[in-house]
Structure 1
Amino acid sequence: MSKEAQHPITPYGVAIHQAMSEGDLAKMKALLIDAESVLKQQGNLAAAVELLRLEITKLERN
């Protein structure tokens, strides 16, 4: 995969869990705004990952 085709992955899960464990309300609210924006742009990432997994399995069988 070329560098142009790679996409950065923001580790929201880690940041979210850290903010929650620290009880940092301001950080949690800011992360929620950012994460909701990413979700709107990306759509259902879990469904896309499952489709990708199925396509890989299909191609590996050939």
Structure 2
Amino acid sequence: MSQAAQHPITPYGVAIHQAMSTGDLTQMKALLAKAESLLEQQGNLAAAIEVLKLEIARLERQ
């Protein structure tokens, strides 16, 4: 049984790079579908982080 079958893999950079390094097209497509689904649900994380940083900076100035 593969590690992917034992534990869910969150589609972040490490999981994506590991999937690509295996050359397993089925695994890569499954990971892509999961990542796209999460992105659709969560939106742009990078933009949310920038907004959070701005809010932290604003509160620290008070």
Calculate the TM-score normalised by the size of structure 2. Answer: 0.77
What are structure 1's unaligned runs of at least 5 residues? Answer: 1-9
CA contact (8 A) 2:19 2:28 kept: yes
- The verdict on how the C-alpha distance between 1:11 and 1:32 changes in structure 2, with shifts beyond 3 A counting, is closer
Tell me the number of residue pairs that the alignment of Structure 1 and Structure 2 aligns.
Answer: 53
Percent identity between matched residues is 75
Q: Which runs of 4+ in 1 moved over 6 A?
A: none
Report whether the alignment pairs 1:14 with 2:14.
yes
> Is the contact made by 2:11 and 2:35 (CA closer than 8 Å) also made in structure 1?
no
- Shift in Å, 1:12: 2.0
Structure number with greater CO (CA < 8 Å, separation at least 6) is 2
Unaligned runs of 5+ in 2: 1-9
Q: Give the TM-score taking structure 1 as reference length.
A: 0.77
Root-mean-square deviation (Å): 1.2
